[in-house]
Amino acid sequence: MKKAWWKEAVVYQIYPRSFMDSNGDGIGDLKGITQRLDYLKELGIDVIWLSPVYQSPNDDNGYDISDYQAIMKEFGTMEDFDRMLAEAHERGIRIVMDLVVNHTSDEHAWFVESRKNLDNPRRDYYIWRKGKGDGQPPNNWGSCFSGSAWQYDGTTDMYYLHLFSPKQPDLNWDNEAVREEVFSMMDWWCRKGIDGFRMDVISMISKTPDMPDGKVGEGAIYGDFGPYCIHGPNVHRYLKEMNEKVLSRYDLMTVGETSGVTVEEALKYAGEDERELNMVFQFEHVDLGNRNGKWNRNPVPLAEFKQVMTKWQVFLKGKAWNSLFLENHDQPRSVSRFGNDSPHYRERSAKMLATCLHMMQGTPYIYQGEELGMTNYPFTDISQFRDIENLNAYRELVTESHAWDAEELIACFRYKSRDNARTPMQWDDTENAGFTEGTPWLAVNPNYKEINAKEQMKNPDSVFHYYRKLIALRRQYPVIVYGDYELLLPDDAAVYAYVRRLEGQSLLVLCNFTENEQAVEVPAGFSRADAKVLISNYGRESAEGLGTTLRAYEAAAVLVTD
Ligand code: GLC
Ligand code: CA
């Protein structure tokens, strides 16, 4: 397998709005990030993925960009950015930017021009269509944030496409001028010295031109745009062009957000010889349980989780590279969803999940606060949410259509809302968890007195130090980075067990996903006297006894050398 720095790296995602506020306005900012670089250095990560910091009216917290070459005022200035980048580089930390180019803000200069008149030079930068008459949009597609995916614009009596909010009009990638603008903007950032791109919903940039109605699912109001917009007809052509014109000219790490991606499709985006991207984010494992849309409270059955993870581990082997994650700014907290966030089991299960993920093949991504075992927020009321996805869904499903019971929807939000990940980072036990001296834009989780970075940095048994150790192990043992993967006990509904192998070394990983003791049979060889326990969330020092029982949420990784 070809070696690469980004295969050996551990990435840490920062959601700047919620990371660290340096000036007391309640909003995280670039100076705040710079202040906390030493914390990240201590954790040991190699790369920061920075969620968007560009100028934005913040309809979707920076994922609606009005100027790609300016910094959002609340976050600081371009000088603050340059200083942050330089200080990160001084510490050996690279910075990967979020590239949001499926859409812009409706306040972007291109869109302001585009909507003015039919022969405006920017008209064709976006996707405009005539309605069907009678105030009917061009087709039945629904947007990801509720409502129609089309917005009527009276100036020219036409509709524009927005797969997300009406304030996020989709760019028309079929227009060569759009592609050239995007590529030259990317090149500008590369020349500044940034180290890569995480590409927002990049699988949606190419749409089928005829745009027929989509299938309306059970209980849905709108049609599904998926088959016409996801992995569309020219997506690979455009990414190859991007690679040739920009990516291949720099030493970058690239990862595409490709919801709905299959393993076969992933090989096109990220195959070793495809000249597109280094890796993709797939969502099969975090979407388990979404049988009828996102708003549910279904638990994730371990057997299915194992099956999905294993499929990706095995199928991409030697052909493409996995990205490993359980959390990001769009997901609830992993310990609340896949582990157990009760005070009794929170730390143990957070460490177990970390072991399970970080010992796999691929590049691990840690989302801010995950390294502390931060939990979901105890939401009880719609007024506590800030996320447009929740606010719109509540309006559509409760206020307008009465299709849902308000309490039931809030219960689903409590389990799945993106705001769970967006509550401020918990730095210490002072007011507002040390995140801000003002009023935070989204409330701090009330458990910050128990769960915070300061406390965990002092405590060698903390989740923080456990992550630190996992990161250090990856650096020390190539088998963790490059080893093959084999699933053991595929039908066990409580234990996730797998083996990694590389050049005479075998690494056994055992994880009990339940609070009950589990009997396991460890394969011969791993309980030998010279087997080395690399990490254990119960402080096990020898592999002896591992062969019989795993305690509640126990995890261990054991190495044997031929
Ligand atoms: C991606 C982002 C998400 C955003 C959406 C629209 O899924 O991760 O936060 O809302 O794209 O840009
Ligand atoms: Ca601030």
Digitized pLDDT (tens) for each residue of the chain, 562 residues in all: 799 999 999 999 999 999 999 999 999 999 999 999 999 999 999 999 999 999 999 999 999 999 999 999 999 999 999 999 999 999 999 999 999 999 999 999 999 999 999 999 999 999 999 999 899 999 999 999 999 999 999 999 999 999 999 999 999 999 999 999 999 999 999 999 999 999 999 999 999 999 999 999 988 899 999 999 999 999 999 999 999 999 999 999 999 999 899 999 999 999 999 999 999 999 999 999 998 889 999 999 999 999 999 999 999 999 999 999 999 999 999 999 999 999 999 999 999 999 999 999 999 999 999 999 999 999 999 999 999 999 999 999 999 999 999 999 999 999 999 999 999 999 999 999 999 999 999 999 999 999 999 999 999 999 999 999 999 999 999 999 999 999 999 999 999 999 999 999 999 999 999 999 999 988 888 888 889 999 999 999 888 767 779 999 999 999 999 8
**Ligand 1 binding pocket includes 388 (Cβ within 6 Å):** no
**Ligand 1 binding pocket includes 60 (Cβ within 6 Å):** yes
- pLDDT at 243 (0 to 100): 98
* C-alpha of residue 296 to centroid of ligand 1, in Å: 20
**Ligand 1 binding pocket includes 164 (Cβ within 6 Å):** yes
* C-alpha of residue 424 to centroid of ligand 2, in Å: 12
Enumerate the β-bridge partners of residue 363. Answer: 323
* C-alpha of residue 201 to centroid of ligand 1, in Å: 7
- pLDDT at 420 (0 to 100): 98
Query: Do 288 and 338 meet the contact criterion of CB atoms below 8 Å apart?
Result: no
Return the best residue to mutate from 201, 205, 323, 418 for the ligand 1 pocket (most ligand atoms within 8 A of CB). Answer: 201
Neighbours of 517 (CB within 10 A): 13
CA angle at residue 233 from 98 to 312, to 5 degrees? 60
Q: Whose CA is nearest to atom 2 of ligand 1?
A: 200
* C-alpha of residue 200 to centroid of ligand 1, in Å: 6
**Ligand 1 binding pocket includes 201 (Cβ within 6 Å):** yes
DSSP 155: T
- pLDDT at 144 (0 to 100): 97
- pLDDT at 34 (0 to 100): 99
* C-alpha of residue 288 to centroid of ligand 2, in Å: 36
- pLDDT at 292 (0 to 100): 83
Q: Whose CA is nearest to atom 7 of ligand 1?
A: 201
- pLDDT at 522 (0 to 100): 82
- pLDDT at 51 (0 to 100): 98
Give how far Cα 304 sits from Cα of 284, 285, 506, 517, 521, Å: 10, 8, 25, 21, 21
**Ligand 1 binding pocket includes 261 (Cβ within 6 Å):** no
- pLDDT at 544 (0 to 100): 78
Q: What is the DSSP string of 327-390?
A: --TTS--HHHHTS--STTTHHHHHHHHHHHHHTSSSEEEEETTGGGT-------SGGG---HHH
Return the best residue to mutate from 53, 58, 60 for the ligand 1 pocket (most ligand atoms within 8 A of CB). Answer: 60
Q: Which ligand is nearest to the CA of 439?
A: 2
Q: Which ligand is nearest to the CA of 72?
A: 2
Return the best residue to mutate from 53, 63, 105 for the ligand 1 pocket (most ligand atoms within 8 A of CB). Answer: 63
- pLDDT at 404 (0 to 100): 96
* C-alpha of residue 328 to centroid of ligand 1, in Å: 11
- pLDDT at 126 (0 to 100): 99
List of long-range contacts for 422-425, beta carbons under 8 Å, 24+ apart: 422/15, 422/17, 422/18, 422/61, 422/329, 422/386, 422/387, 423/18, 423/374, 423/377, 424/18, 424/19, 424/21, 424/28, 425/18, 425/19, 425/20, 425/28, 425/368, 425/369, 425/453
Alpha helices in 77-175 (DSSP H): 78-90, 109-114
- pLDDT at 525 (0 to 100): 83
Neighbours of 133 (CB within 10 A): 6
Contacts of 342 (CB under 8 A, 6+ apart): none
**Ligand 1 binding pocket includes 100 (Cβ within 6 Å):** yes
- pLDDT at 169 (0 to 100): 99
DSSP 396: I
**Ligand 1 binding pocket includes 68 (Cβ within 6 Å):** no
- pLDDT at 530 (0 to 100): 86
Q: Which ligand is nearest to the CA of 65?
A: 1
Contacts of 174 (CB under 8 A, 6+ apart): 206, 207, 209, 234
Q: Which ligand is nearest to the CA of 258?
A: 1
Report the catalytic residues. 200, 257
- Which atom of ligand 1 lies nearest, measured to the CA of 60? 10
Q: Look up the pTM and report it.
A: 0.98
